C-alpha cells in the first residue's frame, strides 16, 4: 500500500546521511567523552564537532551550546533555570497561550512555586502582538518565553521584535525554536535571543537529543546535577551517537534551508489550495503566509478529528489531529481554542506536516483520497444531520454535549 507520512511536526525520519554519520559511534568510537584514553578523546572530539555544527546553524558560539535530551528538557532547563537565577529581581514571567506543553506546564509548575505568569492571547492567526508583550511587562518581569513557530498551526511568531523589546527592557528572552530550526532562518544575535531550545528529531535527526543555547554571560544555573559534563552545567554521560546525528542533521537542514523551504512551501500551498477547493466547509487555521513551509492545519466542519485520522491511516496517510486528544482526554487543542475556534470546530481539525522527503506524489495522493473520506464521514455524522435539519449556516454552538465521540 502507498504510505504517505505527513506528521513531520510530531517527528521526522532520521535521514540516511545522518544515520551513516551516527553508526560508528555505537560500536567503534563508543568512548565516554570524559575519559582520558584515545577512544574517550575521539568521542570528545565528535561532541565538539557537533557543538560547532549546532552553533553555526543559529549564529552562536560553540561554548554557548549545551546538549540535552531533547526539546522538552531544554524548555524546562531554560525556564526553571532563568526563574531561579532571577528570583531576587522579580517573579513575573511572560509567555503565550499557544506554547508547547513543555513550556506551558513548566510555567504552571512555577506558578505553584510562587511565580506569576502572564499567558498572552494571540490574534486569529495565532500571532502574539508585540503591544501585548509590551503592556504585560512590569518591573518584576524576569523572563519572556515565546515560541519561534507553533507546532500545531505553523504560525511564525515575531521573535525578532520580541527579542528587541526584551533586550531594551533588560529581560531574558527564551524561545522554543523546536519547529523553526531548519525551516526558517534563526540568528540568536540579530534576534536578541538569550536562550533557545531545539530538538534533533524535528529536523531529520535522532530522538532523545536536543540542545539549549545559553548566551555567553547569561547565568541560569545547573539543571541536571551529577558529573561535570557540558562544562558542569548538565550532568550525564553524553548521548554520543545522538549528538553526532543532531550535528549532522542541523548542518544539512541549514545548508538546504532555502531550497527545502521553497519546495515545501509550494507543496504546502498546493495541499491547502486543493483542500479548500475540493472540500466544502473547511477553514485554514494559522497564518496564510507567516507560516512554517511544512504546515497545513485545517478545520473540517461536521466531523470528528480522530475519526478522520483513523480513516486516513487506513488509506495509508499519517496525519495528526489538531486536537491534542490523548487517550482519556478529549479536550480540544489549547492552540485552536486560543485562535478563537469553538470546541466543535477545534475537534474536527487535521494537521498535515511535510518533511524534506515529502513529494508532489504524496500531496496528490492526499488530494485524491481526502475529499472522499470526508464526504463519507459527513454522510454518517450526527453533526451533519443537525446541519441539514436546522438548515442553518452555522448550527454549531459552544455546547458540545451533542458531539458523539464514538462516532467512528
Ligand atoms: C516537539 C516539540 C517539543 C518537544 O521536543 P522533544 O524533543 O520531543 O522533547 C517542544 N516544543 C515544540 C514546539 C515541539 O514541536
Please report the atom of ligand 1 found closest to the CA of residue 200: 7
Among 92, 316, 353, 307, which Cα is nearest to 202's?
Answer: 353
Count of residues in the chain: 408
Q: Within 13 A of 237's CA, how many CA atoms are on the CB side?
A: 10
Q: How far is the CA of 101 from the centre of ligand 1 (A)?
A: 9
Give me the pLDDT at residue 381, please: 75
- For cell 486528544, name the residue: 325
Q: How far is the CA of 180 from the centre of ligand 1 (A)?
A: 11
Does ligand 1 come within 6 angstroms of the Cβ of 199?
yes
CA–CA distance, 273 with 29 (Å, rounded to integer): 49
- Over residues 201-227, the mean pLDDT reads 96
Contacts of 406 (CB under 8 A, 6+ apart): none
Give me the pLDDT at residue 344, please: 85
Residue 18: Cβ within 10 Å count:
26
Given a cut of 90, whether residue 225 has pLDDT beyond it is yes
CA–CA distance, 153 with 336 (Å, rounded to integer): 8
Give me the pLDDT at residue 322, please: 60
Does ligand 1 come within 6 angstroms of the Cβ of 200?
no
Is 325 among the catalytic positions? yes
Sheet strands side by side (includes 116-120)? 65-68, 210-214, 195-199, 172-176, 141-145, 92-96, 116-120
Given a cut of 60, whether residue 387 has pLDDT beyond it is no
CA–CA distance, 162 with 96 (Å, rounded to integer): 12
Residue 397: Cβ within 10 Å count:
11
Please report the atom of ligand 1 found closest to the CA of residue 207: 7
Report residue 4's pLDDT band, with 50, 70 and 90 as the boundaries. Answer: very high
Given a cut of 50, whether residue 328 has pLDDT beyond it is no
pTM over cut 0.95? no
Give me the pLDDT at residue 221, please: 85
- Over residues 150-161, the mean pLDDT reads 98
Q: What is the mean pLDDT of the chain?
A: 92
| Choice among 148-157, 297-306, 376-385 with the minimum mean pLDDT | 376-385
Given a cut of 90, whether residue 324 has pLDDT beyond it is no
Does ligand 1 come within 6 angstroms of the Cβ of 178?
yes
Given a cut of 90, whether residue 323 has pLDDT beyond it is no
Given a cut of 90, whether residue 330 has pLDDT beyond it is no
Give me the pLDDT at residue 1, please: 75
Does ligand 1 come within 6 angstroms of the Cβ of 74?
no
| Choice among 5-19, 268-282, 331-345 with the minimum mean pLDDT | 331-345
Q: Which residue of 71, 204, 286 sits with most ligand 1 atoms within 8 Å of its CB, as the best mutation to test the pocket?
A: 71
Query: Secondary structure of 345-393 in the HEC alphabet?
Result: HHHCEEEEECCCCCCHHHHHHHHHHHHHHHHHHHHCCHHHHHHHHHCCC
Report residue 18's pLDDT band, with 50, 70 and 90 as the boundaries. Answer: very high
Report residue 329's pLDDT band, with 50, 70 and 90 as the boundaries. Answer: low
Residue 234's φ and ψ, nearest 5 degrees, are -145, 100
pLDDT > 90 in the chain, percent? 87
Q: How far is the CA of 71 from the centre of ligand 1 (A)?
A: 5
With the CA atoms of 135, 140, 142 and 146 taken in that order, what torsion angle do they form, in degrees rounded to the nearest 10?
-30
Q: Which residue of 7, 73, 100 sits with most ligand 1 atoms within 8 Å of its CB, as the best mutation to test the pocket?
A: 100
Q: Which residue of 70, 154, 209 sits with most ligand 1 atoms within 8 Å of its CB, as the best mutation to test the pocket?
A: 70
How is residue 276 annotated by DSSP?
A: H
Question: What tens digit of pLDDT does each residue of 124-140 get?
Answer: 999 999 999 999 999 99
Angle between helices 101-112 and 71-85 (to 10 degrees): 30
Burial 221-254 (b: 16+ CB within 10 A, else e): eebbeeeebbeebbeeebbbbbbbbbbbbbbbbb
CA–CA distance, 59 with 390 (Å, rounded to integer): 57
- Over residues 362-369, the mean pLDDT reads 98
Does ligand 1 come within 6 angstroms of the Cβ of 7?
no
Among 225, 223, 227, which Cα is nearest to 79's?
Answer: 223
- For cell 513550556, name the residue: 103
CA–CA distance, 75 with 198 (Å, rounded to integer): 9
Question: What tens digit of pLDDT does each residue of 59-94 get?
Answer: 999 999 999 999 999 999 999 999 999 999 999 999
Given a cut of 60, whether residue 310 has pLDDT beyond it is yes
Contacts of 343 (CB under 8 A, 6+ apart): 332, 337, 398, 400, 403
Residue from 325, 352, 374, 383 carrying the catalytic annotation: 325
Given a cut of 80, whether residue 407 has pLDDT beyond it is no
Structure-model confidence comparison of residues 385 and 35, the more confident one:
35
Strand partners for 198: 211
Grid coordinates representing 329? 482526554
Amino acid at each position: 500500500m502507498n504510505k504517505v507520512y505527513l506528521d513531520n511536526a510530531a517527528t521526522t525520519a532520521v535521514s540516511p546521511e545522518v544515520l551513516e554519520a551516527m553508526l560508528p559511534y555505537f560500536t567503534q568510537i563508543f568512548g565516554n567523552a570524559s575519559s582520558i584514553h584515545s577512544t574517550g578523546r575521539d568521542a570528545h572530539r565528535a561532541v565538539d564537532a557537533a557543538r560547532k555544527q549546532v552553533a553555526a546553524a543559529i549564529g552562536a558560539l560553540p561554548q554557548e551550546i549545551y546538549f540535552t535530551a531533547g526539546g522538552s528538557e531544554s524548555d524546562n532547563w531554560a525556564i526553571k533555570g532563568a526563574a531561579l537565577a532571577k528570583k531576587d529581581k522579580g517573579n513575573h514571567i511572560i509567555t503565550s497561550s499557544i506554547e508547547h506543553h513543555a513550556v506551558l506546564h513548566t510555567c504552571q509548575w512555577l506558578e505553584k512555586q510562587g511565580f506569576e505568569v502572564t499567558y498572552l492571547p494571540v490574534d486569529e492567526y495565532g500571532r502574539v502582538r508585540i503591544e501585548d508583550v509590551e503592556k504585560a511587562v512590569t518591573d518584576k518581569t524576569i523572563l519572556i518565553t515565546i515560541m519561534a513557530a507553533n507546532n500545531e498551526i505553523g504560525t511564525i511568531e515575531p521573535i525578532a521584535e520580541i527579542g528587541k523589546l526584551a533586550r531594551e527592557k533588560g529581560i531574558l528572552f527564551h524561545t522554543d525554536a523546536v519547529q523553526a530550526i531548519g525551516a526558517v532562518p534563526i540568528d540568536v544575535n540579530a534576534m536578541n535571543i538569550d536562550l533557545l531550545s531545539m530538538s534533533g528529531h524535528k529536523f531529520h535527526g535522532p530522538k532523545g537529543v536536543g540542545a539549549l543555547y545559553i548566551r555567553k554571560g547569561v547565568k541560569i544555573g545547573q539543571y541536571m546535577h551529577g558529573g561535570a559534563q557540558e562544562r558542569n552545567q548538565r550532568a550525564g554521560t553524553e548521548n554520543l551517537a545522538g549528538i553526532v546525528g543532531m550535528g549532522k542533521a542541523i548542518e544539512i537542514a541549514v545548508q538546504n534551508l532555502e531550497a527545502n523551504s521553497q519546495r515545501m512551501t509550494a507543496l504546502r500551498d498546493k495541499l491547502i489550495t486543493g483542500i479548500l477547493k475540493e472540500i466544502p466547509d473547511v477553514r485554514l487555521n494559522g497564518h496564510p503566509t507567516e507560516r512554517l513551509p511544512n504546515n497545513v492545519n485545517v478545520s473540517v466542519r461536521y466531523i470528528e478529528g480522530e475519526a478522520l485520522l483513523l480513516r486516513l491511516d487506513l488509506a495509508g496517510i499519517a496525519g495528526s489531529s489538531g486536537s491534542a486528544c490523548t487517550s482519556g482526554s478529549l479536550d480540544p487543542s489549547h492552540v485552536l481554542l486560543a485562535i478563537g475556534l469553538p470546541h466543535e470546530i477545534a475537534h474536527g481539525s487535521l494537521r498535515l506536516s511535510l518533511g524534506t522527503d515529502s513529494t508532489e506524489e504524496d500531496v496528490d495522493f492526499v488530494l485524491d483520497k481526502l475529499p472522499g473520506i470526508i464526504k463519507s464521514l459527513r454522510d454518517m455524522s450526527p453533526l451533519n444531520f443537525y446541519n441539514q435539519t436546522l438548515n442553518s449556516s452555522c448550527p454549531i454552538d459552544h455546547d458540545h454535549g451533542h458531539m458523539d465521540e464514538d462516532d467512528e
